[in-house]
Structure 1
Amino acid sequence: MGCLQSSNLTLLLATLFLFLSRPAHGLCKVTPGSENWPSLSSWTDLNRTTGGRLLKPLPPASVCHPDQPNYNRARCTTISNAWSSSQFHSDDPISYDWQNWSNYSCTLDPSTPCSGVGYPVYVINATTAEHVQIAVNFARDNNLRLNVRSTGHDFLGRSANPQSLSVWVHYMRSINFHGSSFSPQGCGISLNVNAVTVGSGTQMRELYRAAAARALIVVGGSSTTVSVGGYLTGGGHSPLSPLFGMGADQVIQFDIVTADGKILTTNECTNTDLFWAVRGGGPAFGVVTSFTIRAIPTVPTVVYGGSIRTSTDIDANFEAIAHVHKQWSSRLAKFGVGGYMIGTPHAGTGSISLQVIMPNATSTSVLQKKLAPILSEMASVTNGSVKASGFYSLYQSYGAFIAPGTDTNDASGFPGTGLTKLITSWLYDEDALNDPGLKNALMGASDSSTLLFNDFTAGPGTHNPPFIRGGGNAVNPAWRSAIVRPASEKHFPGLNRALLEQSKLDFLRFGESLRKLAPNGGTYGNEADAATPDFQQAFYGSNYERLLSIKRTFDTDGVFWCRTCVGSELWEEDADGSLCSVE
């Protein structure tokens, strides 16, 4: 009995010590150099357990710094030339497309400091679900910050967790077509659809080409170096979305490694809460290792590629842009037409590129009859100061348009790749597009150094998806009425913290200008400002309460954390990279 009492006293004292030693803001993840950081032998054991897949990479730009052990002038030249390529950053185990997410801890400029503090410390190059399982178990058992990364193409830095163990799923890139039917596991039914199972690291270019070889298409983004994992968990808009729905709407089944280290298959019959949440609710619930999605018989596609020639009259430039926005819903989106508008209208004389995409059109005249009057009217409302010119092209298949046989454009990079980048966006429904304040809202969302990057990727297909399993998913409800996603983007080179901080303030102001037309709406969580006020409502809408409940059920210890992800408000990230609970 005395021994038991002594044991209880020891436990009580240990618990009291832990409580008193905890930071005021809660339990923190273990960081390098701290007493509880795993020993070298523990990391050696982890490497052996994963079959030698543990990496300890240096920052990619470290080869340009003479004080770094891997300094190499020739290699620095090679990397500098590739720095604007999305594919380069994707192929590196820790790099990010946008350098502000590494906190400028190692840039190409050799005159600036270089260290790895802005990057993960160790990386597991996972190629199987079992590799992911081992990584999750190790991070959970050792209270480590866990990072999940595929390509690094992430506007919000969700795959940028410094001082962490990172799971790199980039090489989980299998593609397996199932033919014209698929039976979800445990459902006892067969769906009469073309289906394909893809590893979560598979890049869009690979999937598009594999589908095209079978006369099929899949709903995916226009940036073909993006991988399916982050795209689908975030909802996934596409030029095909006005016709076929969001990328997440196409998901039939997926495999996921959860915080307790289990490998689960989820679909409309099995693990249904996760099936609902992960399709649009973001990457907070586990590491998806593969998705099974619907593939669609290919369709001919007509594309208009042109430019809107702007003038020194800034007001007229935005009058023209607002006109296109106002006309899009009734004259283009309702017919399944998608597209993009990109340019700098505040800059004065120049041009804004306009791409209009009409799937399932058999001749250029079909699109021309709908678009040409809008462009003609645009010139009229600006007294001829803003005009458009371009050409129409017919592709016999959508695949021939989105992922041609050469990589000339595919790997060149997204605007601003390799630089600092900020973005803000909002979703506009018909009420917002018909608001008299539309032009001023768009004008107030940018300045002369800001890129307008508007997506016309919503319509009947996103409002009432023609295919969606399980009765629904966690896609932001704002998508179900949206027509347009106006966005502003800014990128600049070098290490300029003062400019970054000022730009962050500017983008809060730009975002507010966009939101004022639809204050109860939302945005696309994959492409938005990480500092968006009330991100829970903005990114997830009325789904958030249920998503947070599911998060607490499947991840009670907060193994998975990322900025603006479900439950991220339960933790606080310090400037030094530490992550501490606020509960």
Structure 2
Amino acid sequence: MRVRLHSLVLATLVLCIWKADSLNYCRPSMSCWPSIIELSNFKREMNATGAADVLTKDDSDWPTEGLTFNLAVTEVPGLIVYVESVDTIRKALQFATKYNIEISIISSGHSFPGRCTAKDSMQISVHKMKEITVDMGCEENNLGCLTAQSGVQWGEVYREANRHSRLVVGGSNPTVSVTGWTLGGGHSPMSRMFGLGVDNVISFHLISSDLSEVWASEKGVRTKSIDGSETSSNDTSLFWALRGGGSAFGVIVDITFRMHMDNQIAQMACSYPAYGDGFSETFRVMFNSLGPLLTQAPNTFSGYILPSVGCDPVSRACGGTSVISIVHYGPSNGTADDEWIKKFTDLPHDWIASGLTNGSCFLKEYPSFYDYELSIPNVTYTAEYLGGSLVQQDLLSNSFTNTIVRHLDVAHKRAKVNPAYNLFGTAIWVGGAVKNTPVNAVPVHEGWRNAIFSLSFATIWDIRYVHTPPALQIQGVKDLHKDLARYSHGKYYNEAEADMTPSEWKKEFWGESMYEKLLRIKKSWDPKNMFTCTECVGFDWDPVREPANGVVG
């Protein structure tokens, strides 16, 4: 699924070169790797606290399934450390530093590019860090604040907020953890109403590379070193960097979010399957009638558009499905939005008049945002290649629709030749309150502030039977997003290609000047590049050849 197989191999090799290569991490096959006795002592020390487990590949309870949800990027670590406290995080970092073991950090493992995984690394899992606290009297927000540890998943956050008649701006998939989603910016079903996830963060609590405990907020930063001494300043640069700069600054302990009033949620969803050569016209008809509404609707509306192409595994009939889901922050009637609700619910009648008679729609009300989230299906393990684009509202046009349709047609023709060929799209409707935060107030790409969609297309394969990434399918995704570049500006850090060149991902995630600012902050907090991952800030920075203080040796 990538360009061609040799191009895929070349891209993989280049990725290895781009990563700082003089750190000389210790690997399990090397003599520097901790001995059986040293690993046993480490396990005993960590388990003595009653709050952590250490696993090596020889242990019977070593995970046998995928360590990340995207099996295409899963790398097998050298050992896994399950931490549950500041103390166990520090001990894990000390052990990795002592033996020069690369560090990867994982929570729920939903990272499409695989930032939570690294071959032969010490994989620090925060999955067991599950504390949630609510402060209804916090001074930062009159509707209350919620603090979630880094292993908490969004469904757990929504459940706790619901107990207080509140909601938090978080991910659509309730099994995604709060940490990686937030550090990358975070789009949500509630973003058009309340902004991106990072627009709603009050503070971060983390462990830095020197093992200090750090609290960062708009008031500044407070640090508590491992010897117990404390310092504070009004420097807000780390707080700024963490709100969209990715996961290369430390190990997150917890994040505090602004809460909002909960509400009833109304959802209209329609699914229109179509088989045969003309199936892409279904998408064109649906999108052309929906598009004008999306640019004008109140912030209380959000939604998703999901076009897909594939073949039925039994009948081998090939075609596609167009799914549209409109979500309303409020009930389906009796509000100031009744006129707009009618515009959306009238759309199926227009589609029928245009000849689309094989679809189905439903209108459903949920008593709360949490109840709506309970209806969202879980993500399953799969091998996937994904690309992303931030489609700009002022560039939305018939030409944009034609581009999508053309690529759906190409995918359909290829699927008829190879029934395993597939293409899945997800257009997250943004805009609204996302536009309210000034550009550069947080380090997400400026394209977010004028985007109408965060649009991704992906292709999947079953690695049990397809052992080599299918080059043609991957190239189809690449070609599509290349053509979408004329309508987009930037990419979503959490949903984009994992094999871009350094100049590409720096530009597409942040822009050159913003990246340079992030790198300066990174160097001040992590001068030895302890925390690194795919396409993260400092991914290609070599602190040996280019020391953070500018002094070699």
Task: Please name the residue that 1:395 is paired with.
Answer: 366
- Letter of the aligned partner of 1:462 in structure 2? V
Task: Please name the residue that 1:323 is paired with.
Answer: 288
Q: Which runs of 5 or more residues in structure 1 are unaligned?
A: 1-22, 59-67, 84-88, 90-94, 103-117, 184-189, 573-579
Task: Please name the residue that 1:26 is paired with.
Answer: 22
* Alignment partner of 1:547 is 2:518: yes
The partner residue of 1:368 within 337, 341, 349 is: 341
Task: Please name the residue that 1:230 is paired with.
Answer: 180
- Residue by residue over 1:294-345, the C-alpha shift from the partner in whole angstroms, topping out at 9 and shown as x without a partner, is 111111211012212435314513422541563243343x333111222425
Q: CA deviation at 1:142?
A: 2.7
- Residue by residue over 1:65-100, the C-alpha shift from the partner in whole angstroms, topping out at 9 and shown as x without a partner, is xxx9969xxx99xx8xxx7xxxxx6xxxxx111222
The partner residue of 1:259 within 209, 214, 217 is: 209
- The whole-number CA distance in structure 2 between the counterparts of 1:379 and 1:544 is 49
* Alignment partner of 1:98 is 2:63: no
User: Equivalences for 1:295-444 in 2 at 5 Å?
Assistant: 295-310=259-274, 312=276, 313-323=278-288, 326-332=291-297, 334-345=298-309, 349-361=319-331, 363=333, 368-378=341-351, 383-385=354-356, 388-403=359-374, 413-414=378-379, 417-434=380-397, 436-441=399-404, 443-444=406-407
Q: For the Cα contact (< 8 Å) 1:317–1:345, is it kept in 2?
A: no
Task: Please name the residue that 1:8 is paired with.
Answer: none
% identical equivalent positions: 24
- The whole-number CA distance in structure 2 between the counterparts of 1:502 and 1:241 is 35
- The whole-number CA distance in structure 1 between the counterparts of 2:212 and 2:21 is 30
- Letter of the aligned partner of 1:558 in structure 2? N
Q: Which moved more, 1:218-227 or 1:494-503?
A: 494-503
Q: For the Cα contact (< 8 Å) 1:301–1:398, is it kept in 2?
A: yes
Q: For the Cα contact (< 8 Å) 2:78–2:120, is it kept in 1?
A: yes
Do the aligned partners of residues 27 and 401 (structure 1) sit closer, same or farther apart at CA in structure 2, a change above 3 Å counting?
closer
Do the aligned partners of residues 178 and 480 (structure 1) sit closer, same or farther apart at CA in structure 2, a change above 3 Å counting?
same
User: Equivalences for 1:135-154 in 2 at 5 Å?
Assistant: 135-154=92-111
Q: For the Cα contact (< 8 Å) 2:431–2:451, is it kept in 1?
A: yes
- The whole-number CA distance in structure 2 between the counterparts of 1:546 and 1:173 is 33
Do the aligned partners of residues 366 and 174 (structure 1) sit closer, same or farther apart at CA in structure 2, a change above 3 Å counting?
farther
- Letter of the aligned partner of 1:450 in structure 2? N
Q: For the Cα contact (< 8 Å) 1:120–1:164, is it kept in 2?
A: yes
The partner residue of 1:490 within 441, 459, 470 is: 459
The partner residue of 2:540 within 538, 551, 569 is: 569
User: What's the C-alpha RMSD, in Å, of the aligned pairs?
Assistant: 3.1
- The whole-number CA distance in structure 1 between the counterparts of 2:538 and 2:102 is 15
Q: For the Cα contact (< 8 Å) 1:148–1:166, is it kept in 2?
A: yes
TM-score after normalising by structure 1 = 0.77
Is the partner of 1:504 in helix, strand or coil? helix
Q: CA deviation at 1:492?
A: 1.3
- Residue by residue over 1:78-129, the C-alpha shift from the partner in whole angstroms, topping out at 9 and shown as x without a partner, is x8xxx7xxxxx6xxxxx11122223xxxxxxxxxxxxxxx311212210012
- Letter of the aligned partner of 2:42 in structure 1? L
Do the aligned partners of residues 362 and 372 (structure 1) sit closer, same or farther apart at CA in structure 2, a change above 3 Å counting?
closer
- Residue by residue over 1:343-402, the C-alpha shift from the partner in whole angstroms, topping out at 9 and shown as x without a partner, is 42576655322211011345285553121344445556xx42477531212223222211
Task: Please name the residue that 2:4 is paired with.
Answer: none
- The whole-number CA distance in structure 1 between the counterparts of 2:114 and 2:153 is 19
Q: For the Cα contact (< 8 Å) 1:28–1:581, is it kept in 2?
A: no
Q: CA deviation at 1:221?
A: 1.3
Q: Which moved more, 1:385-394 or 1:274-283?
A: 385-394
- Letter of the aligned partner of 1:529 in structure 2? E
Which runs of at least 4 in structure 1 moved beyond 6 Å after TM superposition?
580-583
Is the partner of 1:229 in helix, strand or coil? helix
- Letter of the aligned partner of 2:494 in structure 1? N
Is the partner of 2:295 in helix, strand or coil? helix
Q: For the Cα contact (< 8 Å) 1:314–1:346, is it kept in 2?
A: no
Task: Please name the residue that 1:460 is paired with.
Answer: 432
The partner residue of 1:37 within 33, 36, 54 is: 33
Do the aligned partners of residues 443 and 425 (structure 1) sit closer, same or farther apart at CA in structure 2, a change above 3 Å counting?
farther
- Letter of the aligned partner of 1:156 in structure 2? P
- Letter of the aligned partner of 2:452 in structure 1? I
Do the aligned partners of residues 581 and 395 (structure 1) sit closer, same or farther apart at CA in structure 2, a change above 3 Å counting?
farther
- The whole-number CA distance in structure 1 between the counterparts of 2:280 and 2:20 is 52
Q: For the Cα contact (< 8 Å) 2:183–2:245, is it kept in 1?
A: yes
- The whole-number CA distance in structure 2 between the counterparts of 1:424 and 1:473 is 23
- The whole-number CA distance in structure 2 between the counterparts of 1:305 and 1:374 is 11
Q: CA deviation at 1:196?
A: 0.9
Q: For the Cα contact (< 8 Å) 2:106–2:124, is it kept in 1?
A: yes
The partner residue of 1:527 within 495, 504, 509 is: 495
- The whole-number CA distance in structure 2 between the counterparts of 1:336 and 1:310 is 31
The partner residue of 1:204 within 140, 154, 165 is: 154
Q: For the Cα contact (< 8 Å) 1:100–1:421, is it kept in 2?
A: yes
Task: Please name the residue that 2:257 is paired with.
Answer: 293
- The whole-number CA distance in structure 2 between the counterparts of 1:25 and 1:122 is 21
- The whole-number CA distance in structure 1 between the counterparts of 2:399 and 2:443 is 32
- The whole-number CA distance in structure 2 between the counterparts of 1:30 and 1:244 is 45
Q: Which moved more, 1:355-364 or 1:232-241?
A: 355-364
Q: CA deviation at 1:447?
A: 1.7
Is the partner of 2:402 in helix, strand or coil? helix
Task: Please name the residue that 1:474 is paired with.
Answer: 443
Is the partner of 2:498 in helix, strand or coil? coil
Is the partner of 1:424 in helix, strand or coil? strand
* Alignment partner of 1:281 is 2:254: no
- The whole-number CA distance in structure 1 between the counterparts of 2:310 and 2:81 is 45
- The whole-number CA distance in structure 1 between the counterparts of 2:195 and 2:349 is 30
- The whole-number CA distance in structure 2 between the counterparts of 1:391 and 1:503 is 33
- Letter of the aligned partner of 1:339 in structure 2? G
Q: CA deviation at 1:563?
A: 0.6
- Letter of the aligned partner of 1:370 in structure 2? K
- Letter of the aligned partner of 2:422 in structure 1? T
- Letter of the aligned partner of 1:280 in structure 2? G
Q: For the Cα contact (< 8 Å) 2:280–2:405, is it kept in 1?
A: no
* Alignment partner of 1:451 is 2:423: yes
TM-score after normalising by structure 2 = 0.80
Task: Please name the residue that 1:508 is paired with.
Answer: 478
Task: Please name the residue that 1:556 is paired with.
Answer: 527
Q: CA deviation at 1:246?
A: 0.8
Q: CA deviation at 1:140?
A: 2.8
Q: For the Cα contact (< 8 Å) 1:238–1:457, is it kept in 2?
A: no
